Amino acid sequence: MTTISPETLALPVAMAVAAGLVGCFAVMRRMTLASDAISHVALPGIGIALVLRINPLVGGIAALVIGTILVWGLEHRTKLPTEAVIGVVFSAALAIGSMLTSGENLIEALFGAARSPGLLEVSLGCAGAVLVVAFVLRARSRLVIALVSSDLARTVGIDVRRLDLVYLLAFALAVALGLRYLGVLLMGSLIIIPATTARYVARSLGSMLVVAVVISVASTLLGTLGAPLLHVGGGPLIIAIAAGFFMLGLLWHRRA
């Protein structure tokens, strides 16, 4: 049986905290479909990295950053609805990525891998998670005002375009953190499902952030620890558990 040390859990927990926080604002910005699609853009990057024989995660992260900037630019420079822009860009990314990646590599890229990360990857991943968490907590007031009204945000001196870009980059970084564990198909779900559950049960911003983080971390820990026991993939189990919390949230909300 695979033994799981506390060090092995550090990166998944950090990833889950970042995903829970960044997801709250994605849900409130009505980016639920978009966020799933954004994670797909990592696939062609992973494919190109495999062709070039470099670390697939490096390729995935590079593709996420480029894709995010592309979406932000198109959103601000064209009159196309964001959903349409994202639909075109990321569906194309998934198609191209599937052509560049094949076999086991494709399955790993889509659903995550069971291999443990090295110390360097854990350190860099944790640093990335700290960046995302620090951004969301520091920018939460600006994000809240921009959510309610971008015009109000401008009167308070908030650069809404810049805030949008930094948020999307933080989102992309959160996706990148989970590529190893959940893959491009499932990482978007870890960002969205806990935050959607929290959106449903919370009555204030603070409680939404706390509930989303708790569900995200609990799903990740239970999934990571339970997968070897149940002989299933960690990524799919994490998302199944998160979906279970969502169902409980629905029931709790109906009874409340």
Partner 1 sequence: MTPNALEVEGLGVRFGGTPALADVSFVVPQGGTLAVIGPNGSGKTVLFKALIGAVRHEGEIRWAEGTRIGYVPQKLDIERDLPITGFDFLRAKASVLRAPEADIRRSLKLVNLTPKVASRPIDTFSGGQFQRLLLAFAVMGRPTVLLFDEPTAGVDEPGEESLYAMIRRLQKEEHLTLLLISHELALVYQHADTVLCLSAGHRTAFFGVPEDVLTPERLREAYRVPLKLHVHDDHLS
| Residues near partner 1 (CB under 8 A) | 28, 79, 140-142, 144-145, 147-152, 154-158, 198-199, 202-208
- As measured in angstroms, the least distance from the Cβ of 145 to partner 1 is 5
- Least distance from C-beta 143 to partner 1, angstroms? 8
Distance of closest approach, residue 150 Cβ to partner 1, in angstroms: 7
Q: Closer CB to partner 1, residue 40 or residue 199?
A: 199
**Closer residue to partner 1 in complex, CB, 142/180:** 142
Spatial distance between the Cα atoms of 209 and 203, rounded to a whole number of angstroms: 11
Choice between 126 and 205, CB closer to partner 1: 205
Q: Smallest distance from the beta carbon of 220 to partner 1, in angstroms?
A: 23
For residue 8, give the nearest of 93, 81, 115 by alpha carbon: 115
Nearer to partner 1, 27 or 177 (CB): 27
Q: Which residue has the tokens 């893959």?
A: 183
Cα dihedral 96, 77, 62, 21 sign: negative
Nearest approach, Cβ of residue 52 and partner 1 (Å) = 43
Question: Percentage helix, strand, coil, to 5, in the chain?
Answer: 85, 0, 15
* Other beta carbons less than 10 A from residue 133's beta carbon: 19
**Cα 85 from Cα 72, distance rounded (Å):** 10
CA distance 96 to 72: 21
Residue 3: HSE in the Cβ half-sphere, 13 Å Cα cutoff: 3
The residue (of 79 and 254) whose beta carbon lies closer to partner 1 is 79
